[in-house]
Structures are given as C-alpha cells and as structure tokens.
C-alpha cells in the first residue's frame, strides 16, 4: 500500500480553505434548509461567500459597494409580508411564511453579471417565480409583472439621502417572469439572505444584468403596460427595461464586451445572455438585439 508523504501530495489535491469552508456551510444548509433539488448552470468556481456578502449594490443603504453590509444592521427582515395584486383572480397580502410554504427550496448556482463590468458565481437558495405566480391566477390581460421593494427611510440611510427615486421598482415581461430560470431567492450558500443580499426575498434573473434583481420585495403586481424600472427612470441612457446581457451593446460608461469575475485577475469575454442564450434567446426572436438592453 502506498502511503502518501505530505511532500508527495500535489497542491491540487489539497482542498483550498474556501472550498472547505463552503463544504461546512453546505452541511449546515442540509440541516437548516429543506433543499429539494439543485441546478448548476456553470462549472466556473463559486465566488467566495465573503465577497458575495460584502460587494453589493443596494442604494437604499448607500451608493458604494460596502454600504449595505455596513449600514444594514437596523434593518428588520422579519416580520415580512408581500402583497400580490393587479390583474389576477386571487390578489392578497401574505406573510412571508405563508408565501413560502408551498414552494420547496432549490439550490441554483448561477452566473451573475453587473453592467459595471464585474461578475460572480453564486449558489442561491430559492424557488421558481412561476410557481408563485400561478397561485394568484393572473388574467390574460396581465402582460408584465412589476416588483416594488421596501421603503423604510428610518432603517435605510440611502432613502433619506434620495440617491435614487425610491421605492426601487423592477419589471419583467410575463414570459420572462414565468421562465424556469427566474427565481425568488431566500438564501445563498445554504443560509438565509443577509440584509445586503436582499433579505428576506429577492428576484434573480440570471440572463439579465444584476439591476433586474430587485431586493427586499414587498409588492408583486400584474400589469398590462411595461413598468418603468427605477434605473431606467433615473438614467435611461445607461439602463433599459430588458437589461439582457449583450456584449455587443456598450453603455455610455462600460463596454460590456468583457467582465472581471470577482476574485480573478484577468478579464474574460462576456457571453450573450450571460451564457444562458440556449435557454432564453427564443423569447426575443424577431426583436432588435441592440434594443434588448
């Protein structure tokens, strides 16, 4: 029998500390969360939990990346309720617990791309938005879904300073909202979402730029007309409604052709629809790809 001496162990056999920590988190997740399934959509290495929970965009807490993790301690994500209304047969206001009950959580490992040119790979815990939408029976007139996020100036210093028009609003076309890749997330790395990541409930739409991922959702509304999302309202030249990742369409500030994965040194080429083209491109057939930003 061959016994490996420490000097014989190639460095590739040694589990990096971050992976070891991740495994521990995963074991903790098995205990705390009933995860029903797992969908891994990339083999790229996952971004460290430290980076995912500190490098965030959340303007209700301020306009720099660390603001939400620094300024989030006054924010209370419990109790929480969500109102679902608009063009549907069964509108209502539900506590978060009642809203989550019928939806088994899954782990989804997704690429996450920001307009600013950085990206991450994040293991979310969540469930398909479609399974929630169906419960409320939207009518045939409902063409879009509008998401409104929480507006609590007393707990959110960025709202007091009016750094954006609040509350933060996002929207999806109904078919985008019903797409199986679109999820509502309640956790990441096997643990409940922290304030800075959008606790207790946020949207994740992996083929679109991060700004579509509304955090701390309190209202979901079925509407006939395309909603005006906050970033388009604030600066339409930079941010559109569709926000589909398109490496061929630069914004005035950033090229979009490449991205830097947080933790990497080199830039990598950005993929159309953030690498999800096979699953989503057909939804935009016949539309001008330059206008899908």
Ligand X SMILES: Nc1nc2c(c(=O)[nH]1)N[C@H]1C(S)=C(S)[C@@H](COP(=O)(O)O)O[C@H]1N2
Give the end-to-end CA distance of the chain in Å, rounded to a whole number: 60
Q: Does 57 bind Mo ion (CB under 5 A)?
A: yes
Q: 29 or 204, CB closer to ligand X?
A: 204
Whole-number minimum distance, CB 204 to ligand X, in Å?
A: 9
Q: 72 or 138, CB closer to ligand X?
A: 72
Q: Does 168 bind ligand X (CB under 6 A)?
A: yes
Q: Would you list the DSSP string of the chain? A: -PPPPGGGS-GGGSPPHHHHHHHHHHHHHHHH--EEEEEE---SPPPPHHHHTTS---GGG-SSTTHHHHH-TT----S-EEEEEESBSS-EEEEHHHHHTT--EEEEEEEEE-TTSEEEEEEEEEEEHHHHHHHT-B-TT--EEEEEE---TTT-HHHHTTSSSSS-EEEEEHHHHHSTT-EEEEEETTEEPPGGGTTT-EEE-TTBBGGGS--SEEEEEEESSPP--HHHHH-TTT--SS-B--TTS--SS---SEEEETT-SS-EEPPGGGGTHHHHGGGGTTS-GGG--
Q: Does 211 bind Mo ion (CB under 5 A)?
A: yes
Residue of minimal Cβ distance to ligand X: 210
Whole-number minimum distance, CB 190 to Mo ion, in Å?
A: 25
Whole-number minimum distance, CB 164 to Mo ion, in Å?
A: 11
Whole-number minimum distance, CB 8 to ligand X, in Å?
A: 41
Binding mask 86-115 for ligand X (x = CB under 6 A): --------------------------x-x-
Q: Does 210 bind ligand X (CB under 6 A)?
A: yes
From the list 37-45, 57-65, 84-92, 98-106, the region that binds ligand X by CB under 6 A is: 57-65
Q: Does 244 bind ligand X (CB under 6 A)?
A: no
Whole-number minimum distance, CB 115 to Mo ion, in Å?
A: 5
C-alpha 105: how far from chain center: 15
Q: Does 211 bind ligand X (CB under 6 A)?
A: yes
Whole-number minimum distance, CB 89 to ligand X, in Å?
A: 28
Q: 22 or 112, CB closer to ligand X?
A: 112
Chain positions contacting ligand X, by CB under 6 A: 56-60, 112, 114, 149, 168, 197, 210-211, 213-216
User: Which residues contribute to the site for Mo ion (CB under 5 A)?
Assistant: 57, 114, 210-211
């Amino acid at each position: 029998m061959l016994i490996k001496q420490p000097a014989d162990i190639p460095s590739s056999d040694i589990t990096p500390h971050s992976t070891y920590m991740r495994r521990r988190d995963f074991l903790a997740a098995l205990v705390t969360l009933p995860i029903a399934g797992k969908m891994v959509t990339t083999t790229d290495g996952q971004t460290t939990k430290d980076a995912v929970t500190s490098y965030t965009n959340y303007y209700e807490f301020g306009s720099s990346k660390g603001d939400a993790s620094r300024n989030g301690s006054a924010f209370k994500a419990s109790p929480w309720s969500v109102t679902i209304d608009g063009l549907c047969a069964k509108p209502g206001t539900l506590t978060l617990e009642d809203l989550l009950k019928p939806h088994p959580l899954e782990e989804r490992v997704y690429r996450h791309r920001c307009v600013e040119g950085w990206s991450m790979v994040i293991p979310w815990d969540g469930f398909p938005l479609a399974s929630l939408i169906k419960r409320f029976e939207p009518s045939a007139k409902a063409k879009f879904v509008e998401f409104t996020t929480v507006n609590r100036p007393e707990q959110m210093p960025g709202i007091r300073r009016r750094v954006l028009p609040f509350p933060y609003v996002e929207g999806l076309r109904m078919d985008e909202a019903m797409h199986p890749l679109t999820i509502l997330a309640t956790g990441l790395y096997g643990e409940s979402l922290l304030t800075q990541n959008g606790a207790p409930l946020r949207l994740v739409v992996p083929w679109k730029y991060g700004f579509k991922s509304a955090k701390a959702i309190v209202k979901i509304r079925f509407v006939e007309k395309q909603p005006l999302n906050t970033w388009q309202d604030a600066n339409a030249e930079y941010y559109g409604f569709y926000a589909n990742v398109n490496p061929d369409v630069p914004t005035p500030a950033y090229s979009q052709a490449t991205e830097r994965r947080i933790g990497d040194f080199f830039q990598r080429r950005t993929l159309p629809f953030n690498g999800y083209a096979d699953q989503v491109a057909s939804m935009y057939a016949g539309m001008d790809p330059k206008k899908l930003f």
